[in-house]
Amino acid sequence: MRETVLHLLQKSNGNYISGEEISKILGVSRAAVWKHIHALKTAGYTIEATRNRGYRLTSCPLSAGAIMPLLQTRALGRSLICLQTATSTNILARELALQGAPHGSALAAETQTAGRGRLQREWVDSPGKDICVSLILRPHIETQYAPRFTLATALGIHQLLRNMSIPATIKWPNDVLINGKKICGILLELNGTIDELAFVVVGIGINVNTASFPSDLSAVATSLCLLTGEQHGRASLFAMLLNTLEPLYDMCETADAYERLLSQYKQACSTIGQEVAVRSLQNEWQGTVQDIDERGQLLLRTPDGQIHALSAGDVTLRKD
């Protein structure tokens, strides 16, 4: 019965179908229809209910069944788990990796109860509307080069958005911005020793169909839906994301290919040449960004003429 309700909603192609019509077709009461709608919502479907108009399906949960046929990757996403809820997909992906999950495994969730950014900051999502995913990579590179994957991910998301004619820029190291507002955050976590990298978990949060943010974020965050005024199909976006990222991740494994990746990253990065303040846990620097080096570090020229190579930090433009 629940499948039939879903089928009727899907057949309406994003238009409203009244509760009365559904109840007539199924031969059940309006209250029974409401119960099925409620069950579908709990399973991750977003269904708008409007008085006098009925129900409208606006998005489906991400599922391996919807994503897999769209993948053109060799390994990325070939093992794919889509959960309703996760504490943090990065935490669960790390556990999977420790249990031996293969290179390229992906774990997505409709919502996170403890989504996190760098330095244990919070990452906020709208349940069922965004993309929260963690990718497990087992690259053959030294641990010191692992930050390459942050840059490669930011570049991939930049390319994905540009292909949709959305004018994104990258703020070093891990933010993708549109008109100065953040649409995507990336959280890279490593496992291994200085000599040997066991695996990398790349956590990616993309604001897709979020229509409004909590007041503390609305000045700094944006979503695809806010930019285009449309809802976006998450399964195809998800597949395009992985299709875009895999060749870039491959490029991180050799010095020559990575050099090419870095030069594309630099072109997309709005931070180079800017007067900025960079804050890390211990320090704050002010200066002009000269360049990004081959390790992905920011090269900052401070007023005393010294060049500092910074591997992590929050950048703010001085004119802000």
Please report, as ranges, the residues that interact with ligand BT5 according to CB under 6 A: 88-90, 112, 115-119, 121-125, 132-134, 174, 182, 185-187, 203-205, 207, 217, 220-221
Question: Taking the complex as a whole, how short is the minimal distance between the CB of residue 136 and ligand BT5, in angstroms?
Answer: 12
Q: How far apart are CA 243 and CA 235, in angstroms?
A: 12
Q: How far apart are CA 161 and CA 158, in angstroms?
A: 5
Question: Taking the complex as a whole, how short is the minimal distance between the CB of residue 280 and ligand BT5, in angstroms?
Answer: 12
Residue closer to ligand BT5, measured from CB, 37 or 133: 133
Residue closer to ligand BT5, measured from CB, 33 or 131: 131
Question: Taking the complex as a whole, how short is the minimal distance between the CB of residue 184 and ligand BT5, in angstroms?
Answer: 8
* Count of all residues that appear for the chain in the document: 320
Residue closer to ligand BT5, measured from CB, 125 or 246: 125
Question: Taking the complex as a whole, how short is the minimal distance between the CB of residue 240 and ligand BT5, in angstroms?
Answer: 17
Residue closer to ligand BT5, measured from CB, 37 or 242: 242
Other CB atoms within 10 Å distance of the CB of residue 74: 11
Question: Taking the complex as a whole, how short is the minimal distance between the CB of residue 115 and ligand BT5, in angstroms?
Answer: 4
At residue 190, φ and ψ (nearest 5 deg) are -110, 155
Residue closer to ligand BT5, measured from CB, 259 or 284: 284
Please enumerate in sequence order all residues whose Cβ is within 8 A of that of 169, keeping only pairs 6 or more positions apart, or say none: 158, 176, 177, 178, 268, 269, 270
Q: Which residue is nearest to ligand BT5 (CB)?
A: 185
Residue closer to ligand BT5, measured from CB, 105 or 112: 112
Q: Are 83 and 62 in contact (CB under 8 A)?
A: no
Q: How far apart are CA 107 and CA 73, in angstroms?
A: 16
Residue closer to ligand BT5, measured from CB, 37 or 298: 298
Tell me the two tokens of residue 318. 């001085």
Question: Taking the complex as a whole, how short is the minimal distance between the CB of residue 89 and ligand BT5, in angstroms?
Answer: 4
Residue closer to ligand BT5, measured from CB, 19 or 203: 203
Query: What is the amino acid identity at position 176?
Result: V
Question: Taking the complex as a whole, how short is the minimal distance between the CB of residue 278 and ligand BT5, in angstroms?
Answer: 13
Question: Taking the complex as a whole, how short is the minimal distance between the CB of residue 227 and ligand BT5, in angstroms?
Answer: 13
